[in-house]
Structure 1
Amino acid sequence: MSVARDDLPAVSRRRVRLALRAARERTGLSQSEVAKKLGWSLSKVQRIELGEVTISPTDLRAVLVDIYQLTDEALITELVEQARVARRERYWTAPEHRDHLPPGLLQLLQFEQAATSIREYQSTLVPGHLQTSAVVDATLAWFDRMLSDDARRVLRDVRLTRRERMITRPGGPDYLLLLDESALWRVVGDPAITADQFEYLAEVAQRPNMHIRVLPMDNGTLMGTFGAFVVLDLSDQPDDAVLYRETYLHDEIVEDAGEVAYHRDVFDRFWRRALDEEASRTLVLARVFDLRARIARTLGQDQGKES
């Protein structure tokens, strides 16, 4: 593991909880039996295995050695260190992020840094981290009754920071964006802002780790019923992945292996049905030219009326 991955509490918490569950299952013990042996409540064992709470390094060593009879000292030492990292969440997360970012996004920010590949499907808008600053402002303005000025500022800063990290970070993840064609026909802010956004998207699409495809509307009806989602692979192991979902009011990280795998499979099936990357970029640029032509026509008509 790289140093960066070792410093991510959400990733460390996931490693620990998966290792504990795997060790328990190897012994054949139930969660109730483990709780009884430790003198803990059943809910404590369940919440630790679900990743809802962390386990102290001391308790972790006791469980691994005394209950699960683990003898691999190197593995025990590694997991104990990860348990320490997992408990640093409060120190890793900026106070204003804790105050203004939803819980799923807080975890997503860490999983993005650990990801080896990211698959993202968006049915309505260009993803936040690929939005221009003007589009970020326009989209956040929709939440004028829900967000304070401080919350809007923090969300804006996070989107722009994520954009830099996802696109320019050395050794960044392989990023696959599947964008429904309908997103190209929505004007955000105004036609000029939208044209700038799509021009930027076409520029980003040329970077070696960025792969952007457009799913034609006549192929994307069923895909659209899933809503936006992101699958993040954290290593080359098929089960080492998480799912991020976001709706208008809520977001969540899903770690159920079956559900993550299902969404990855759906993504890959529709990825193959989408326009290839060159054709997708051409379509995005065609939309840019169309918007700029509309702007020019409108400007010419207005000038004609004034003369």
Structure 2
Amino acid sequence: MACAAGWRPGGAIGFGGWKNATCVVQIPREPAVSTSADSPMDVGPTIARHLVRQRLRALREASELSPATVAELTGWSLSKLNRIESGDVTVQPLEVRALLRFYGVEDKNVVDTLARLSQASRTRQWYSRYRLAGDFQRFVAFEHEAAVINIWQALFVPGMLQTEEYGAATTALSMRLSPGDREVQARLKLRMDRQWAFRERLGQPGAPRIVAVLDESVLHRPLGGPDVLRRQLDHLLTLAEQKDTYSFGVIPLNLAHHSGIGGTFELLQFAGSDHADVLFVETAAGTDSLTTDEEQTGLFKTIFQDLLRYGLTGEDALDMIRARRAALPGA
């Protein structure tokens, strides 16, 4: 008996009983990720982990083995299997091969590719030294591997575009602490490291891009004082000279109704078709949320496209930044 198993990001999840543990599962070949030996090295550890957990879950469901049955066969706890399938933990290549035997997968290319992806998912990254947790940890990891970082910000210049002094002022204000506070400095260090990691990728194939849309009020809000804001606007204009890397838009104050009025967000997009978009919404209360749900990411993708359509872009956006910079005291 042959079982057909397909997978896609954000697919529906269901559990079945154990009907035939020895059926052979065939995975449809995805054009963006080949089964060659070099394939896993084309993605970072976060995407690799995501692919492994998606495919393992799809293969288990196709084999019609329940999580409880797999846990019994492997001698694992049910929580370990659930954490593997949710992407909360990595899985060793030998464990992947063992699972695939239970799932009846006999295609050597499929087995080898998933084993190599599992190895790639265990690579330690620069952000591992930070004690990040929850959705924010996942966001930083996904951001580091995104091909396009789309940002809508209505309150301040986004973290990936901030100068250090502007970032210190913004962080201190949001945390109600002084700029020199240890916790403020720790968060600022992470933000600067995120920028450094982004710049490090610019010399590599498939270099990333940032598309940022700001509300006009951001250009007027003197966080840190007029001098700090002026240097921040200068920094934006300098970044804008790298046209293949940075694109800016501005939503004018006189645009009374627009779809971004509901809140700010970041939408991460990835090369190829193997990974769904990632939506991240950060709040001052710390209730960050991250999702790959296709309905949600599709909605916010449309919102972002509307912001670009109805706002100022290109030289029009830069002219507004220049005009605001020139109007600041001491300019």
Give your verdict on TM over 0.5. yes
C-alpha displacement of 1:213: 0.7
Partner of 1:170: 203
Q: What residue number does 2:326 align with?
A: 289
Which residue is equivalent to 1:202? 237
Maintained 8 Å contact 2:45/2:120: yes
Q: Measured at CA, do residues 190 and 161 of structure 1 come closer, stay the same or move farther in structure 2, by a change above 3 Å?
A: same
Instruction: Give the CA deviation at 1:135.
Output: 0.3
Contact residue 235 and residue 241 of structure 1 kept, 8 A: no
The alignment status of 1:157 with 2:189, answered yes or no, reads: yes
Residue 277 of structure 2 contacts residue 292 of structure 2 at CA under 8 Å; is this kept in 1?
A: yes
Counterpart AA for 1:141? A
Task: Report what 1:183 is aligned to.
Answer: 218
Mapping for residues 17-32 of structure 1, pairs under 5 Å:
17-27=53-63, 31=67
| Shift in CA distance, 93/212, structure 1 to aligned 2, threshold 3 Å | closer
Which consecutive unaligned segments of at least 5 residues does structure 2 have? 1-37
So what's the TM-score if we normalise by structure 1?
Answer: 0.80
Aligned to 1:237: 273
Residue 39 and residue 253 in structure 1: after superposition, are their counterparts in 2 closer, same or farther (change >3 A)?
same
C-alpha spacing 1:94/1:31, structure 2 compared with 1 (3 Å): closer
- 1:50 CA displacement: 1.8
User: What letter corresponds to residue 199 of structure 1 in structure 2?
Assistant: D
Partner Cα distance (1:147, 1:26) in 2: 54
Q: Deviations over 1:102-130 (max 9, x none)?
A: 54443333323322212111111111121
The residue aligned with 2:317 is 280
Q: Report the equivalent of 1:271.
A: 308
Deviation at 1:37, TM superposition (A): 5.4
Q: CA deviation at 1:174?
A: 2.2
After superposition, where does 1:127-146 map in structure 2 within 5 Å?
127-142=158-173, 143-145=175-177
Equivalent position SS for 1:260:
helix
Q: Distance in 1 between matches of 2:256 and 2:87?
A: 38
**Pairwise CA distance, 1:158:** 2.4
Over the residues paired in the alignment, what is the CA RMSD in angstroms? 3.0
Task: Tell me the equivalent position of 2:259.
Answer: 222
Q: For 2:186 and 2:39, locate their aligned partners in 1 and report how far apart those are by CA, in whole Å.
A: 28
Moved more, 40-49 or 197-206: 40-49
Contact 1:213 1:274 in 2 (8 A): yes
Deviation at 1:272, TM superposition (A): 1.6
State the 1:286 CA deviation: 0.7
Would you say the 8 A contact 1:239–1:257 is kept in 2?
Answer: no
Match of 1:301 in 2: none
Q: 1:256 aligns with which of 293, 298, 307?
A: 293
Tell me the residue number matched to 1:303: none
1:52 maps to a residue whose letter is D
Q: Does 1:193 align with 2:236?
A: no
- Aligned residue in 2 for 1:122: 153
The TM-score, its normalising length taken from structure 2, stands at 0.75
CA–CA separation in structure 2 for the residues paired with 1:127 and 1:182: 13
Write the deviation string for residues 153-191 of structure 1: whole angstroms up to 9, x where unpaired. Answer: 332222223234435622431221111222222111111
Query: Which 10-residue stretch deviates more, 276-285 or 137-146?
Result: 137-146
Q: Distance in 1 between matches of 2:186 and 2:146?
A: 23
Give the corresponding residue for 1:106. 137
Shift of 1:61: 1.4
Contact 1:9/1:92 (CA < 8 Å) preserved in 2? no
3-state SS of the aligned residue for 2:279? strand
Q: Distance in 1 between matches of 2:123 and 2:199?
A: 27
Contact 2:47/2:275, CA 8 A, preserved across alignment: no
Q: Secondary structure at the match of 1:119?
A: strand
Q: What is the match of residue 4 of structure 2?
A: none
How far 1:146 sits from its partner (Å)? 9.7
Deviation of 1:48 after TM superposition, in Å, equals: 2.3
| Unpaired segments ≥5 residues, structure 1 | 297-307
Amino acid at match of 1:136: G
